Amino acid sequence: MRKRMTKRMLAAAMLGVILVLSAACGGSDGKSGGSSAGPQKVVFWHAMGGANTKVVDQMVSDFNASQDKVKVEAIFQGTYDDLLSKLKASMGSKDGPSLVQMYEIGSRFMIDSKTVTPMQTFIDADKYDLSQLEPNITGYYTLNGKLYSMPFNTSNPILYYNKDLFKAAGLDPAKPPKTFEEFQQAADAITKSGKATGANFAIYGWFMEQFFANQGAEYVNNGNGRTSPATESIVNSEAGVKTLTWWKDMVAAKSMNNLGRKTDDSKKAFLAGQVGMILDSTAALRGLVTDAQGKFEVGTGFLPRPSDGKEGGVIVGGASLWMMNDKSEAEQKAAWEFIKFLTSPKEQAYWHINTGYFPITKKAYDEQSVKDNLQKFPQFQTAVDQLHQTKPNTATQGAVMGVFPEARQIVEGAIEETLNGKKSPKEALDAAAKEITAKIQTYNKTVK
């Protein structure tokens, strides 16, 4: 009798354990973000530092407050390079983000990594109207008719000039130089006035890429790596040699100085009235105009091009948002809802005004806040016009290659060697093209 009671008690106890376990398992559908588990979490990694971190955090906070089904957590991961390193380290683990911001030159790597779900998947499923976005911006992130990532922070380079120095040099402050030849003449005139050096370009590979596009010239073969993966750098083509010769000649004539690779050093010299003209991102506009107040008036112009150059335009810089494919369908859909929120006219207006980056949504320009901002900073109209006048083609869509960060560094080294008189423009660019081509071919083997 006693033994029987023990067996019964044991059976009852086991049944109790089974019921508890089944209850625990049955409370969810086994996928993250089930209705009983509260809002679906989305982890967003970004590289927007300084004041821009606060802008990102505010947009995330506004999205989270606007609904109760998705909760986005934004995590700042340092520079673009830091972010790429951390993302590579997280691949194949559960520690990665749902959504990641990646600089434009990381696009080929992101596609080749096979770790992303193209944005086109969500656009098609949701019948999202892509025509509401700027075509010259989405064009960069589109390959084979498919939008791979959603543009986020977008900029172009423009010419900034000191109108007071233009007047002192006998130049028309309402007419910025449009061609290489006009730019050289203006730089000479400012230098001869004795008030400042004519110009400065930071040794930045992005500028060289832009000068190619502005001449309608491709940077790598195979349609800039867009008709099929690039196998060769063509940075030593006529467009490159012409650009670097022009740049070197101005430095040699002392109508342009060489302050090295940092755009910050270029900006400081400009704001101190030491140089008359610089190139910088459109995202720097508000800061430059504000910091120059009380000192001089800042003018803006299009990126110059050779007078005999083919028609082209500028390539978008900045970064875009990529959807990681190792997350559940529910998590990816939740991240897509956040992306749609970010691309709305109201949010794009807020983003543009507070960061200086372009709105990617056309209707953002209809927002009163954007109209007011353009009145306050009329110089930004130059940036808008330059973007809209860019002719879409493989040159202005921008080059795509898996070793772009390294290629940019190699080109900067070639510019340095030329400006320092160690090599001719052709020699320096030939060596750069050879080195980049070898890196592209090594990379292509790893992808295969």
Pairing outcome for strands 70-76 and 40-46: parallel
The alpha carbon of 380 is separated from its chain's Cα centroid by a whole number of angstroms, namely 18
pLDDT of residue 410: 98
Kindly state the average pLDDT of the residues 166-173.
98
Is the Cβ–Cβ distance between 161 and 297 less than 8 Å?
no
Residue 405, burial from CB neighbour count under 10 angstroms (0-12, 13-18, 19+): middle
User: Residue 16: pLDDT above 60?
Assistant: no
Share of the chain above pLDDT 70, in %: 92
Residues 384 and 382: their CA atoms lie apart, in Å, by: 6
Kindly state the average pLDDT of the residues 14-37.
40
3-state secondary structure of 220: strand
3-state secondary structure 377-400: CCCHHHHHHHHHHCCCCHHHHCCC
Residue 281: enclosing H or E segment and its boundaries?
A: strand 275-281
CA 214, 220, 221, 225 torsion: positive or negative? negative
Pairing outcome for strands 298-301 and 99-103: unpaired
| Chain position carrying tokens 């922070």 | 153
Tokens at residue 399, please? Answer: 């080059």
pLDDT digits (tens, 9 = 90+) for 262-298: 999 999 999 999 999 999 999 999 999 999 999 999 9
Q: If pLDDT is split at 50, 70 and 90, which confidence band does 36 have?
A: low
Share of the chain above pLDDT 90, in %: 88
Q: Which domains does the chain have, with CATH numbers?
A: 35-155+316-376 (3.40.190.10), 157-313+403-447 (3.40.190.10)
Residues 326 and 329: their CA atoms lie apart, in Å, by: 9
Backbone angles phi, psi at 159, to 5 degrees: -85, 130
The alpha carbon of 131 is separated from its chain's Cα centroid by a whole number of angstroms, namely 20
pLDDT digits (tens, 9 = 90+) for 343-370: 999 999 999 999 999 999 999 999 999 9
| Axis crossing angle, helix 404-419 with helix 205-214, rounded to the nearest 10 | 90
| Axis crossing angle, helix 329-342 with helix 119-126, rounded to the nearest 10 | 80
User: Concatenated DSSP letters for 294-349?
Assistant: TT--EEEEPPPB-TTPPS-----EEEEEEEETTS-HHHHHHHHHHHHHHTSHHHHH
Least confident range from 20-29, 217-226, 418-427: namely 20-29
Question: Nearest to residue 362, comparing CAs of 177, 89, 132?
Answer: 132
pLDDT of residue 92: 86
Residues 172 and 170: their CA atoms lie apart, in Å, by: 7
pLDDT digits (tens, 9 = 90+) for 175-208: 999 999 999 999 999 999 999 999 999 999 999 9
